[in-house]
Copies of this chain bind each other. A is one copy, B any other.
């Protein structure tokens, strides 16, 4: 199943938990993979209760990019870098048609070179 995500900033975390949960409804037990087919974006699991956490993460991702001279002409090597560190996919177990996330966990699409229209693929096993 494909999910579309429209981002509005250069760096942004978009909570897609409800849309992933909808994709597994009625699917029994197994493993759900969420895959980002882009090289300047990522997907992570983290706290969705306090929006300050996502704000802090975005600020920290920016601050962690080293001040070196990048060669890639598009000028977005910082986005490629954080994409490899955060990762292109996550896997989450599910049971009884529900994601086995912890109390504070949500699934976030991480935009690192926006704004753009993005895609996310959900695969069930």
A interface residue numbers (CB < 8 A to B):
30-31, 33, 35-39, 44-47, 50, 52-53, 55-57, 59-60, 63-66, 68, 70-74, 77, 80-81, 83-93, 100-105, 119, 121, 123, 125
Bound: A123/B100 CA distance, A: 11
Q: What is the predominant secondary structure among interface residues of chain A facing chain B?
A: mixed
Bound: A40/B70 CA distance, A: 24
User: With A31-B33, A33-B91, A121-B93 as given contacts, are A83 and B39 in contact (CB-CB < 8 Å)?
Assistant: no
Bound: A7/B121 CA distance, A: 32
Chain B residue contacts of A56, Cβ below 8 A: 70-72, 77, 80-81
